[in-house]
């Protein structure tokens, strides 16, 4: 609910979906939320699935692009630990790159391992805090509206 409140505070439409005891969203949950949200034509709808890297990998939600987001504080071994999430994703956002000097995270090793699993994966390295790398991510999003 905290994330939904933060999004709502920006005057961006948001719907909080409670998965109950389930470990992931499903298509019916998304359908109901989209019907309630009524997104404008030529808009981008973000669906944030439950925050683990296991269950969400196995269920399609009707998304155009599947994006896996992780921060450098989580470790560079994630592609090897959670190959399903990386094999089913189109984009990988590596967040919190401003913390790279302070954590043990090898960006090259991370990307190499992710590309072994999915050689089509596209990477964006960003810091949501400082804004570093966000211009490339925003450019990708703008291209999706055309």
pLDDT tens-digit map of 65-106: 999 999 999 999 999 999 999 999 999 999 999 999 999 999
Instruction: Name the more confident of 54 and 124.
Output: 124
Tokens describing residue 74: 């989580």
Q: How many structural domains is the chain composed of?
A: 2
- Chain segment 42-71, per-residue pLDDT in tens: 889 888 876 667 766 777 787 889 999 999
Mean pLDDT of the chain: 90
Query: pTM for the full model?
Result: 0.87
- State the pLDDT at residue 51: 64
* Distance separating alpha carbons of residues 146 and 135, to the nearest angstrom: 17
Q: Does residue 11 register a pLDDT over 90?
A: no
Is 28 inside a domain boundary?
A: yes
Whether residue 68 sits in one domain with residue 47? no
Provide the domain limits for residue 120: 64-146
Is 58 inside a domain boundary?
A: no
Is 57 inside a domain boundary?
A: no
Q: Does residue 20 register a pLDDT over 70?
A: yes
- State the pLDDT at residue 140: 95
Whether residue 73 sits in one domain with residue 31? no
Strands (E), the chain: 67-71, 91-95, 122-125
């Amino acid at each position: 609910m905290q994330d939904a409140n933060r999004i709502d505070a920006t005057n961006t439409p948001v719907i909080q979906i409670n998965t109950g005891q389930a470990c992931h969203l499903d298509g019916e949950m998304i359908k109901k939320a989209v019907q309630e949200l009524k997104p404008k034509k030529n808009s981008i709808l973000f669906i944030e699935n439950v925050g683990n890297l296991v269950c969400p990998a196995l269920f399609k939600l009707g998304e155009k692009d599947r994006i896996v987001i992780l921060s450098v504080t989580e470790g560079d071994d994630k592609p090897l630990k959670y190959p399903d999430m990386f094999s089913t994703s189109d984009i990988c956002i590596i967040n919190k790159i401003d913390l790279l000097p302070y954590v043990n995270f090898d960006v090259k090793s991370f990307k190499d391992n992710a590309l072994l699993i999915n050689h089509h994966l596209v990477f964006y390295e960003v810091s949501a805090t400082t804004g570093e790398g966000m211009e490339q991510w925003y450019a990708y999003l703008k291209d999706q509206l055309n």
